[in-house]
Amino acid sequence: MIVAVFLVSPNDVRTERVEEAPELLERDGRWFSLRGGPRQPRSTDRIWDPVAVYAPDELTEEEFQELFELNKQRVPELNLKY
């Protein structure tokens, strides 16, 4: 399984397990594009599933990077080493 991290807004991040990580996914009537992964994190005190990061398709790369940084401290999967 893959952990899909959906960066919706600065205060709204959702995760779910998916079998595949396509380039585009629709959730709640909104399109999300794959921005990173899926990548296998290095083991820490536990074994992690591969992680894929999604953001709204309409965001530019700069907007995505900003959203990623805003959520990095709250979402463990965004802080892992790969």
* pTM, to two decimals: 0.91
Residues 52-65: pLDDT tens digits? 999 999 999 999 99
Cα angle 65, 13, 34; round to 5: 55
Encode pLDDT of 5-44 as tens digits: 999 999 899 999 999 999 999 998 999 999 998 999 887 7
Contact 78, 68 (CB under 8 A): yes
Instruction: Please give the residue range of the domain that contains residue 23.
Output: 2-79
Number of domains in the chain: 1
